[in-house]
Structure 1
Amino acid sequence: MNYRALCTDIDGTLLNSHRELSERTIQAIQKLDKQIPVILASSRMPAAMRHLQQQLGILHHPLICFNGGYVLDYSDGSDTPAIVDTIQIPAQLCAAIVAMAQNTAIHVSLYANDDWHAPRMDEWTEKEQRVTKVKARIADLPPILDSWHVAGTGAHKVMCMGPEDEIFEMAAQLEAQYADQIHIYRSKSTYLEIAPKAISKASALERVLTQHYSLDLSQVVAFGDNYNDIEMLRAAGLGIAVGNAREEVKAAADEVTLKSVEDGVAVAIEKYFL
């Protein structure tokens, strides 16, 4: 099969043990035919992905942010992208999630467009800033939620971080009450990421490929490691799980490459594209 596009998750898939791009990964992607779109698909916000695009030399390529809830097109070369798609969690539901975390040790952050709203500078905010290289906007959340309610908008992602037992309990409560409205995804034992039910990396990737490149999913190689990558790996022409992926992800993939810390994505790119 002559694959003509590449899409990859970031954390746990593309980055090394320092949460950075390795030199081998950078070189492999920079050696690709310039006609091949390289699309990053992540739960991250745009600002936490643009510096990676810059390192890879793909600043004009699309971004799939917030697991498909916010899709951006940078093809005109400017820093102000065209919005391909935007799907948010309504303000009222965001407020219910924030209220659920009251009287617990859980930190709740709200993400909308390219803004990260955190209620305080604590260990969770500091950790995320180090990992994503993005600064949070520290502010009380209720006024933000009120303004979203008036504007009829909401969050592209809600992230809850806290003790494992409280995160587990909150996930169970959200599943029981709102499973028909939101995706509830435990990216780590202490992290809970919440997104609109209507979105996925797979649907966002299909839209980008068909609208902007006249390609279909059978022509793309996709990489991932976690539950939110399964649908994308199944839909792709070639779905590849990294060696450190969850077993369910490996089972959904067509192939398993080396671990992310062993440059598994670069190894597969060299095998299929170079």
Structure 2
Amino acid sequence: MQKINAICTDIDGTLLNGDRVLSPRLLQAIAKLPKDFPIILASSRMPDAMRHLQQDMGRLGEPLICYNGGFVIHDEQEEVVHDTPILLEHCEALVDIARGTEIHVSLYQGEKWYEPEMDYWAQREARNTRVEPTVKQLDQVLEMWKSGMKGAHKVMCMGAAEEIELFYRQAEQHLGSALHLYRSKDTYIEIAPKTISKASALALLLERKFGIGMDEVMAFGDNYNDMEMLQAVGLGVAMGNAREEVKSIADRVTLSNKEDGVAVMIEVLLLA
């Protein structure tokens, strides 16, 4: 097997356990790895929803692949490595599709997260990510972005499964050629440009910052947006709780996130 010189891992359903935290076993395994061994977090999350996990691991400052690859940053060098937002006109179209429904739309751009109100959905997301949003009407946010002609790095829609299904069909019909609409749950849709992915972001980051090939990376994931990354690296590992489609393309399947699946693979392959 190719020597592993870096780890790239998804967060939710992968790195975090059933309590949505990093387990003691995982933290111990990571602590035994050399400090110059890259551990790269790749998620649909915004930067601040990832930094506290880096801090827990003693890895603050390492690069972050945010918004499924749309925003890649390296805090240690205060550098934006890659930046691909959704076009402003597409953001406006998504907000328009949600008008007149009960669907809650969130807008993310770089370090900012905008919510129209702190309702059930916004409070739930704040609890899960440990980040507080900026409360601002969506039309005001879009108007503010017009001056810089900048769109969102992520649009997230949350609501009842029936309305989310209807929104998904409409958005896919009108914007599906340009946008990837990813359904992490039947009540969530996460939207990003089709031109980016965790895999493309990781390849760019490795080339620019580490001089490491994709074949030297062990990657972990559990869902559809991890599949391209797992296929592109030297060792793609699906979690025991991963969707069957993800397991089918992985090189290995580990235990579930609730059973310390990431820690187990680090112990077996890197610390034995």
TM tier relative to shorter chain: over 0.9
In structure 1, the residue corresponding to 2:147 is in which secondary structure? helix
* Rounded Cα–Cα distance in structure 1 between residues aligned with 2:203 and 2:76: 17
Which residue does the alignment assign to 2:153?
156
Which residue does the alignment assign to 2:37?
36
What is the deviation of 1:56?
Answer: 0.4
- Are 1:216 and 2:217 an aligned pair? no
* Rounded Cα–Cα distance in structure 1 between residues aligned with 2:198 and 2:172: 21
What is the number of residues matched between the two proteins? 270
Identity %: 53
Q: How does 1:1-274 map to 2 (within 5 A)?
A: 1-76=2-77, 81-274=78-271
Give 1:272's aligned amino acid: L
Give the conservation status (yes or no) of the 8 Å contact 1:92–1:149: no
In structure 2, the residue corresponding to 1:151 is in which secondary structure? coil
Q: TM-score, normalised by structure 2?
A: 0.98
* Rounded Cα–Cα distance in structure 1 between residues aligned with 2:75 and 2:168: 35
In structure 2, the residue corresponding to 1:12 is in which secondary structure? coil
* Rounded Cα–Cα distance in structure 2 between residues aligned with 1:35 and 1:252: 30
Give 2:151's aligned amino acid: G
Alignment gaps of 5+ in structure 1: none
What is the deviation of 1:147?
Answer: 1.8
Q: TM-score, normalised by structure 1?
A: 0.97
In structure 2, the residue corresponding to 1:75 is in which secondary structure? helix
* Rounded Cα–Cα distance in structure 2 between residues aligned with 1:143 and 1:127: 23
Give 2:264's aligned amino acid: V
Give 1:233's aligned amino acid: L
Which piece of structure 1 moves more, 130-139 or 166-175?
166-175
In structure 1, the residue corresponding to 2:264 is in which secondary structure? helix
* Rounded Cα–Cα distance in structure 1 between residues aligned with 2:240 and 2:147: 46
1:31-60 deviation per Cα after TM superposition (whole angstroms, max 9, x unaligned): 112221000000000000000000001112
* Rounded Cα–Cα distance in structure 1 between residues aligned with 2:215 and 2:116: 43
* Rounded Cα–Cα distance in structure 2 between residues aligned with 1:122 and 1:177: 28
* Rounded Cα–Cα distance in structure 2 between residues aligned with 1:74 and 1:192: 28
